[in-house]
Amino acid sequence: MRTVVIGATGHIGSYLVPRLLAAGHEVVSVTRGESEPYRSPGSWAQVERVSIDREAAEAEGTFGERIRDLRPDVVIDLICFEPESAEQLVRALDGEVQHLLHCGTIWVHGPSTEVPTTEDQPREPFGEYGRKKAEIESYLLDVARRDGFPVTILHPGHIVGPGWDPLNPAGHFSPEVFERLANGEELALPNLGLETVHHVHADDVAQAFEAALNNWSRAVGESFHVVSPAALTLRGYAEAVAGWFGQSADLSYLPWEEWRERVSDEEAEATWDHIAHSPNCSIEKARHALGYQPRYTSLQAVRESVARLVENGTVETDPLS
């Protein structure tokens, strides 16, 4: 099939495009032309690259038509963040494609009532990002069920993999947290460190997109969580990271209001967003319907990313044991 991937050189696309090529797809990469994939195997030479500034084209009302004019059988949209963007794409592709796959987020859920959270639990998102993504999901599922539009939504967790800084055990993105744990230094965690985070390796997300393509009848009109097999508590996560370096985690715990005074405003904002959600999502639906089988646990996925941070000197310590 001729498959157009919007945002193909990002975290997910860097793993997804080589998978699609290996499966025999004719792949068209649509980006602004400003970035290269995180991974650059030789197969990328087979990719047709198209440069489109999505924001500018949407403002002109032409983005959907420009994607349609690429003659896709399948469109995979990895960078849709506005409801209007989804609507413009659907209008242009209606009756023109076999499948539209949309990258959502587990942030469509607010705080969980029962865990692990399943896809059928009521949506109570908070924060602009989560609310907009939930609105996009609602719109796409509505056009699928009312009009038969062939769409599937995949909701990743905290994406990790070599090439970018993973969400750390303090709930933000500073590599310093990994360095402190690696060197046996004290790390303060908010509250009791029992809030949860739920990672997923970018290649497992790519696997899920490929599985949805290969299970069209089960995937269309549905949304699926795409995460590792189990979430982590901040405390357990910190203890595991320290152990990678032969250390025992030296942890302390502070009430939120006191803890936030010890970090930057950016770090505090990121941590609050993550601990307020405390995601813990089920993958049973994706396993049953799509055959999704993540290769990485949360800790395995993060460890691969941290190893790269050590190798490039971002985290200064001895190599992982």
- Is residue 34 scored above 90 in pLDDT? no
pLDDT value at residue 35:
74
In a domain, residue 267? The reply is yes
Q: Do 82 and 175 sit in the same domain of this protein?
A: no
Dist CA 69 CA 29 (whole Å): 14
Is residue 41 over pLDDT 90? no
Same-domain pairing of 259 and 113: no
- What CA–CA distance (Å, rounded) separates 114 from 26? 42
On the question of pLDDT at 36 being above 90, the answer is: no
pLDDT for residue 95: 96
b/e map 158-187, b = 16+ CB within 10 Å? bbbbbeebbbbbbbbbbbbbbbbbbeeeeb
The phi and psi torsions of 180 (rounded to 5 degrees) equal -60, -45
* Rounded mean pLDDT, 246-260: 98
Residues 260 and 143 in one domain: no
103 & 190 share domain? no
Bridging pattern class, strands 26-31 and 196-197: unpaired
In whole angstroms, what is the distance from residue 18 CA to residue 170 CA?
33
| Spatial CB neighbours of 115, under 8 Å, sequence gap ≥ 6 | 231, 280
Q: Could you tell me the residue range of the domain that residue 189 belongs to? A: 165-197+231-279+300-311
Whole-model pTM: value is 0.96
Which of 153, 34, 20, 14 is CA-nearest to residue 86? 153
CA dist 222 and 43 (Å) reads 31
Residue 18 has pLDDT above 80, yes or no: yes
Report pLDDT for 164: 87
For the cut 80, the answer to whether the pLDDT of residue 40 exceeds it is: no
Same domain membership, residue 113 and residue 67: yes
Q: What percentage of the chain exceeds 70 in pLDDT?
A: 99
Provide the pLDDT confidence category of residue 318 given band limits of 50, 70 and 90.
confident
Q: What domain count does the chain have?
A: 2
CATH code, domain carrying 9: 3.40.50.720
Instruction: Render pLDDT for 116-154 as a digit per residue (tens, 0 to 9).
Output: 999 999 999 999 999 999 999 999 999 999 999 999 999
Please tell me whether the peptide bond between 150 and the residue prior to it is cis, using omega within 30 degrees of 0: no
pLDDT above 90 covers what percent of the chain?
93
Whether residue 292 is contained in a domain is answered as no
User: 186 with 257, same domain?
Assistant: yes
Q: What is the mean pLDDT of residues 154-174?
A: 96
Position 288 confidence tier, pLDDT thresholds 50, 70, 90: very high
- Region 37-48 average pLDDT: 83
Residues 306-316: what's their mean pLDDT? 95
Distance from C-alpha of 217 to C-alpha of 240, rounded to nearest angstrom: 40
Query: Do 85 and 213 fall within a single domain?
Result: yes
31 and 76 share a domain? yes
Residue 92 and residue 209 in one domain: yes
Question: Token pair of 125, please?
Answer: 């998102």
Query: Do 102 and 118 reside in the same domain of the chain?
Result: yes
User: Are 103 and 178 within one domain?
Assistant: no
Flag whether 237 is in a domain.
yes
**Angle (nearest 5°) at CA 168 between 162 and 170:** 175
* pLDDT at residue number 42: 78
pLDDT at residue 33 greater than cutoff 90? no
Task: Please report which confidence band the pLDDT of residue 218 belongs to, taking 50, 70 and 90 as the band edges.
Answer: very high
Q: Is residue 293 part of a domain?
A: no
Residues 14 and 70 in one domain: yes
Whether 13 maps to a domain, the answer reads: yes
